[in-house]
Amino acid sequence: MLVLGIETSCDETAAALVADGHILSNVVASQMDLHASFGGVVPEVAARKHVEVIGYVINEALGSAGKALEDVEAIAVTSRYGLIGCLVVGVAAAKALAYTLKRPLVGIHHIEGHIFANILSNPHIPMPHVCLTVSGGHTMLVYVKDLCQYEVLGNTLDDAAGEAFDKVAKFLGLGFPGGPVIDRLAAQGDRTAYNFPRPLRRSGTVDFSFSGLKTAVVNRFKGSDISTLPVSDIAASFQEAVVEHLVSKTVQAASRADVSAIGVTGGVAMNSRLREVFAERCRQEGHQLFFTRTDLCGDNAAMVAAAGAARLAHGESADLYLSAVPNAPLESAA
């Protein structure tokens, strides 16, 4: 089945065509440069940009796959979890297309999309598995019982991991988004230079917390002349604390759930040290590790189309009353 996916939940306008697990096109118009001068995503600015470019992005997804609009057999759109003004743009576009083409429509939870980015990358990932979705807007551990069946095991209690990368980078004057710059600088730094706190180490839960860690970095260097600081060492030490926290909670969650397979997905899954430490720890613990391929880690619409195909195969679809919901829980994904 040829599914058109649409994703506009944050600052990427994306459209993709996926047929039976094969990505025919995957177009992402990033607004990164637009938001860089503000040091973060401005919801109103993002929504307006989605309205401006959504038509072109869908056209490009069709054109680069060599398909016409009439070839599309179903439409999947991110309708839950994200910035409300941004979500409504994609939902309105998807509904207009479903209505005019008379094709089934399905609304997808953004986190479910990221889980499917991992499944698209690793079609043979065992079920059940534990999936860490870690990004600028979320940090969540999900028990994936089977396709479209989830149980949330842990969540961030405050900031998302990517948000912490972005805020620390902003404090150090490194620009936005912060994750890729910190990743690059950390490669030349000493990760033992500063001993930043490992959050919730003794909590007994598999939740996350990043706000105290971010504040520890800021407080340690507040009032200093940033240009004189060993920025690579700070980046490496901060990154090490984030990575340790993510890996230890994920491995703990997999052991408790008694599953051997771990998936990792979302923008922060591109982090090179995270990939290294996960590989090391999973080898020690005997877990199988499945990272999302890097071109599907960030927000994209191929993951939405893939999730849509699975939901439609389960006999689910939405009607034209489909609404955008900014903070719906994942379990309500059906």
Residues at the interface with Zn ion (CB under 5 A): 135, 299
How far is the first Cα of the chain from the last one, in angstroms, to the nearest whole number?
A: 20
- Distance CA(222)–CA(187), nearest Å, equals 24
Q: Give the shortest CB-7-to-Zn ion separation in angstroms.
A: 8
Write down the least CB distance from residue 312 to ligand KG4, Å.
24
CA angle 8, 12, 13 (to 5 degrees): 55
Residues interacting with ligand KG4, by CB under 6 A? 10, 135-137, 162, 165-166, 177-180, 183, 266-268, 270-271, 298-299
Cβ-based nearer residue to ligand KG4, 184 or 283: 184
Which of ligand KG4, Zn ion, none has residue 298 at its interface (CB below 5 to 8 Å by kind)?
Answer: ligand KG4
Question: Tokens in use for 103?
Answer: 């094709």
Residue 104 touches which of ligand KG4, Zn ion, none (CB < 5 to 8 A by kind)? Answer: none
User: Least distance (Å) from ligand KG4 to the CB of residue 183?
Assistant: 4
Which residues on neighbouring strands pair with residue 265, listed in sequence order? 133
Q: Which lies closer to ligand KG4 via its Cβ, residue 239 or residue 252?
A: 239
Paired sense of beta strands 22-30 and 288-291, if any: unpaired
Per the DSSP assignment, residues forming a β-bridge with 29 are: 13
C-beta closer to ligand KG4: residue 85 or 178: 178
Nearer to ligand KG4, 74 or 247 (CB): 247
Residue 177 touches which of ligand KG4, Zn ion, none (Cβ within 5-8 Å per kind): ligand KG4
Residue 74 vs 112, nearer CB to ligand KG4: 112
Long-range contacts of the stretch 246-250 (C-beta < 8 A, 24+): 246/132, 246/134, 246/139, 246/161, 246/208, 246/274, 247/274, 247/277, 247/278, 247/281, 248/198, 248/201, 248/281, 249/141, 249/154, 249/200, 249/206, 249/207, 249/208, 250/130, 250/132, 250/141, 250/206, 250/278
Least distance (Å) between residue 239 CB and ligand KG4: 8
Nearer to ligand KG4, 75 or 164 (CB): 164
- What is the nearest approach in angstroms of ligand KG4 to the Cβ of residue 25? 19
Rg, Å, the chain Cα set? 20
Q: How many CB atoms are closer than 10 A to CB 202?
A: 5
- From ligand KG4, Zn ion, none, interface partner of 268 (C-beta below 5 to 8 A by class): ligand KG4
Residue 94 beta carbon to ligand KG4: minimum distance, rounded to whole angstroms: 19
